[in-house]
Each structure stands twice: as structure tokens, then as C-alpha cells.
Amino acid sequence: NRSEQAYQHLIQIEEQLSADHPAASLLLSLKIKLGYDIDTNGIISKIDSLTSIDSNLLAMTSLHLIRAGELTKAKMTIEKIDSFSP
């Protein structure tokens, strides 16, 4: 399917994408949609500031992690969101 094709193309350049690049957000949402493992530490370490899109993606990521039973990773993701709250 097209989502899988997009994922396969984007995963090849993942290391070259900055956290604020739109393709990085797209790749993260594809990983969530397709059920791939999410490198929470890698995502969190790249984020310097949080846009509303990033916030939504991190919220989706934490929900995905909770459903997968990855509670420690989910907590780290939620704490990252909270660290940018005013």
C-alpha cells in the first residue's frame, strides 16, 4: 500500500532529517499507523522546541506506546511534552 511505500522511502533518509522537518513528522505518523517500533529516545533527543504538530504526534506516540505496553517509554514521551508547557 502507499503508506508502506512512503515509509520505505522515508526510513532510508531518517538519520538525515532534523526533528522540525515535515518529513520527520510524516515518518513518525507512518510508523505509528503501520505499527512499527518507535525509537522514543531518538525522537525525544531531536526535539528542541515543540510545535502543535509535534505535540500532537508525541501525544499519538505516547498513546501507541501505552497500547503496546511500553509504559516507561510512554512516560518519557509525556514528560517531554510537559517540559515544553508554559
40 Cβ partners below 8 Å, 6+ apart?
61, 65, 70, 73, 76, 77
Residue type, 43: I
The CA distance from 13 to 9, in Å, is 7
Per-residue confidence (pLDDT) for residue 35, from 0 to 100: 80
Q: With 0.85 as the threshold, say if the pTM is over it.
A: no
pLDDT < 50 regions, the chain: none
> Measuring CA to CA, which residue among 42, 53, 57, 44 is closest to residue 83?
44
Per-residue confidence (pLDDT) for residue 80, from 0 to 100: 79
Dihedral Cα 50, 52, 55, 56, nearest 10 deg: -160
Per-residue confidence (pLDDT) for residue 53, from 0 to 100: 61
